[in-house]
Amino acid sequence: GAVVSQHPSWVICKSGTSVKIECRSLDFQATTMFWYRQFPKQSLMLMATSNEGSKATYEQGVEKDKFLINHASLTLSTLTVTSAHPEDSSFYICSARGVGVTRATNTEAFFGQGTRLTVV
Amino acid sequence: GENVEQHPSTLSVQEGDSAVIKCTYSDSASNYFPWYKQELGKRPQLIIDIRSNVGEKKDQRIAVTLNKTAKHFSLHITETQPEDSAVYFCAASPGSFGNEKLTFGTGTRLTIIP
């Protein structure tokens, strides 16, 4: 099956600093990457959608200048949380769809392991 | 935009019994409906999906039914086992081109009682 590798799995940072989260598709081309945020015991809330080589499309209420998304290649997308504050503490998870190895990578969304961000 | 509602939010089932989770969606353009299982602190894993040209799909103990007219779809787990305990999310997406976003339901915490 298709594998999405997300790093780091957890990070603690000081308020005001920036944190970069990486998602890599290991055996397929991730033409589309979705970034989600999940609060404890809640659903996955889509933050933005990015297509390789294009600017990300942000969901309503998500600050694009605070959550910088880069999808410069078919195997790598990054989310940078800039000037992080305690309220940004959450579980961030990426999901990729694309073309390549398996039967239905063009519709099935494969998730990364997630990154637990704690801002102190 | 799409809105997906999921019920119940929590469900406890005796081991060996069946569990049913229901979802409704609002956008008639949605035609792809996956179900994900998420264990605590882990990534969601696709367990079954269905497209709008199919009314039912089964994979061993798991089945999904879809009623496009009523805009609802359901997950059925039979002969439940303790390892089925997890949070289950339904989702809906328009199109099959790969770049359409998934809208997730609010999740169901399923507990299997030994």
Q: Tell me: the pLDDT tens digits for A9-65?
A: 999 999 999 999 999 998 888 888 999 999 888 889 999 999 888 889 999 999 999
* Residue (of A8, A11, A6, A20) closest to A96 by Cα position: A6
All residues of chain A having their beta carbon less than 8 Å from the beta carbon of residue B96 are: 106-107
Instruction: Note whether B46 contacts A113, CB cutoff 8 Å.
Output: no
Q: How far is CA B32 from CA A69, B28, B71, B114, in A?
A: 26, 11, 12, 34
* Residue (of A77, A75, A120, A119) closest to A101 by Cα position: A75
Instruction: Note whether B49 contacts A106, CB cutoff 8 Å.
Output: no
Is B13 touching A (CB cutoff 8 A)? no
* Span of A29-38, A81-90, A106-115 with lowest mean pLDDT: A106-115
Mean pLDDT of A95-118: 76
Largest distance between two CA atoms of chain A = 44
All residues of chain B having their beta carbon less than 8 Å from the beta carbon of residue A103 are: none
Sequence length of chain B is 114
Instruction: Note whether B98 contacts A46, CB cutoff 8 Å.
Output: no
* Residue (of A25, A44, A35, A23) closest to A98 by Cα position: A25
pLDDT of res. A29: 85
Q: Looking at chain A from residue 78 to 107, which residues have their Cβ under 8 Å from any Cβ of chain B?
A: 93, 95, 97-99, 105-107
Chain B CA closest to residue A51: B99
Chain A CA closest to residue B99: A32
Q: Looking at chain B from residue 33 to 72, which residues have their Cβ under 8 Å from any Cβ of chain A?
A: 34, 36, 41-46, 49
Nearest Cβ partner for A43 among B34, B41, B104: B104
Q: What is the mean pLDDT of each run of 10 residues along chain B (114 residues)?
A: 93 98 95 92 90 90 96 97 96 73 92 96
Nearest Cβ partner for B46 among A93, A108, A114: A108
**Other Cβ atoms closer than 10 A to A112:** 26
Give me the residues paired with residue B26 across strands. Answer: none
Instruction: Note whether B43 contacts A111, CB cutoff 8 Å.
Output: yes
All residues of chain B having their beta carbon less than 8 Å from the beta carbon of residue A42 are: 106-107
